[in-house]
Amino acid sequence: MQACYTGIDFGTSNCTAGWLENQEPVLAPLDADGPYLSSALYIEKNRSDDQDEDEPYINESLSRLLQQQTKVHLGQSAHQSYSSNPLAGVFIRSPKSMLGSRLTPAQSQIYRQICTLLLKDIKQKAELARGAELPYAVLGRPVHFQGIDGALGDDRAEAILRLAAQDVGFKEIQFAYEPVAAAVEYERSLTQEQLVLVVDIGGGTSDISLIRLGPKLAMQTDRSNDLLGHAGRRIGGVDMDIKLAIYGLMPLLGRGSLATTGRPLPNALFSDAVNIIDIQAQENFYREQSAAEIQSLIKLATDPHKVSRLLKLYQQHLSYYLVQKAEQAKIALAENAQVQVELSRLEAQLHQQIDLQMLDQAIYIELNGIKKLIEHSLASAAAKPDVIFLTGGASAAKGVIQLLQQLLPDVPLVHGDRFGSVGKGLCTIAARHFA
């Protein structure tokens, strides 16, 4: 008889689902033949509808589309649909990053529906791969989702996820902290006890945990006594992408340039344009009045051609495009000293060179925040780790590696499966809970 459970990593950037077979975690194919489903949706607009092209981009438009049950693309299909025709639908990336925000009741309902769409697809594909119904689930969650309202925001975010999981038919839902899940996955490789600093830097959050791991401890269901220190904040890879877009790419669209008065142009619209994880910023940028404001900036600017690119970004809804270009540059800089970013959708032959120094300057605040999390975890545990275990998509950034080497120069670094460690650990936790 097959176990009827699954462990789900509902990630900011990617999602996984799986279970144990012969005590080994198996991740189901969720997107084509791959185990990673990009946390992205593209909801097509119904062109037969008499919709107002200038209606707010997020609230009214998205709510109406969800009620109409128009066609929805998920994962790579969502990216492809957005790339081919951004104006034919509404693109949503990283919905998890919104969950702890101060959402209105209407916005909470929208994001519950969005999470339901993703979880429904994950559940169906996992059940198809497993050949059985999977009514029981352990979902991963960060220690802190957003941080604006502390524990209250965390509770709101978990409640939205729980309701969405119930909507798709899960009968029993448990939650597990993502850094603990990553630690559980690393623990399977150990032959002796170690103090491990788990550095989990995902798309939306950074969680740092000092935890005691070992083969004799692995069978214990309650690991609270082994978690010696922990700190977490809403700092993640998407924040880094946004900052790189603001400081590295937005100057091509006029950010930082001067008005004819000799004073700098105001920065608000440039920042709101790419702040894709702040629902209020996106609402503000894509409101109807923004077109007139950008036109005014064009008239004021000493280099109006640059600001005209911001108008095209607004008209073509290219916010995600610019952030994706920044993300691709950040990933490439893990292996290269500099990269060339091509932005042909804004203008033919438009490109920008970005190097490591520019990246480090752009994400300085994020790196400093991660440094404080590490220092807090070590101080609260009053202990030094034997090893550092790195996981999460943003953990490969050279700035993160250099930071850890500076803080703990004689502690070895172990790189886990950046995108799969949490999901695999959740498989083990789900098996222990439900099997």
Amino acid 338 reads Q
Q: What is the dihedral of CA 124, 127, 128, 133, to 10 degrees?
A: -110
- Alpha-carbon dihedral sign for residues 128, 131, 134, 139: negative
CA distances for 429 relative to 25, 28, 171, angstroms:
10, 16, 17
Residue 270, SS3 per DSSP: helix
pLDDT tens per residue, range 259-269: 999 999 999 99
Predicted confidence (pLDDT) at residue 1 exceeds the cutoff of 50: no
Summarize pLDDT for 234-251 with one digit per residue, the tens.
Answer: 899 999 999 999 999 999
Percent of the chain with pLDDT over 90: 73
Same fold? 5-179+424-434, 192-236+366-414? yes
CB-based contact 312:345 (threshold 8 Å): no
Radius of gyration of the chain (CA): 22
Beta bridge partners of 206: 201, 233
The CATH superfamily of 5-179+424-434 is ATPase, nucleotide binding domain (3.30.420.40)
Instruction: Write down the H helix ranges in 340-396.
Output: 356-362, 364-381
- pLDDT one-digit tens code per residue, 146-191: 656 777 888 999 999 999 999 999 999 999 999 999 999 999 999 9
The length of the chain, given as a count of residues: 435
What fold characterizes domain 192-236+366-414?
Nucleotidyltransferase; domain 5 (3.30.420)
Condensed to tens digits (0 to 9), the pLDDT of residues 274-321 reads 999 887 888 889 988 999 999 999 999 999 999 999 999 999 999 999
Residue 201: CB partners within 8 Å, gap ≥ 6?
Answer: 235, 236, 237, 370, 390, 391, 392, 393, 394, 395, 397, 400
8 forms beta bridges with: 17, 139
Cβ–Cβ under 8 Å, residues 428 and 219: no
Q: Any idea what DSSP says for residue 101?
A: S
**238: Cβ contacts below 8 Å, ≥ 6 apart:** 12, 13, 94, 97, 203, 204, 276, 277, 323, 327
Residue 47: the pLDDT is 63
**99 token code pair:** 């969950």
pLDDT at 197: 97
Over the stretch 77-86, which tens digit does the pLDDT of each residue have? Answer: 999 999 999 8
Q: Which helix (H) or strand (E) holds 285?
A: helix 279-285
* CB crowding 99-138: b at 16 or more within 10 Å, else e: bbbebeeebbebbbbbbbbbbbbbbebbbebbeeebbbbb
Q: Which two tokens stand for residue 123?
A: 């559940």
DSSP secondary structure string for all residues of 168-217: TT-SEEEEEEHHHHHHHHHHTT-SS-EEEEEEEE-SS-EEEEEEEE-TTT
pLDDT band of 105, cuts 50, 70, 90: confident
Between 68 and 411, the more confident residue is 411
What is residue 66's DSSP assignment?
A: H
- Tokens matching residue 117: 């769409």
Average pLDDT over residues 119-132: 96
Tokens 């214990």 — which residue?
220
Residue 152 near residue 167 (C-beta atoms within 8 A): no
Hey, where are the domains in the chain?
A: 5-179+424-434, 192-236+366-414, 238-364
Question: Using a CB cutoff of 8 Å and minimum separation of 24, what contacts does 21-28 make?
Answer: 25/185, 25/423, 25/424, 25/425, 25/427, 25/428, 26/427, 27/420, 27/423, 27/424, 27/427, 28/125, 28/126, 28/129, 28/130
What pTM does this model have? Answer: 0.89
Strands 136-141 and 5-10: parallel
pLDDT at 146: 65
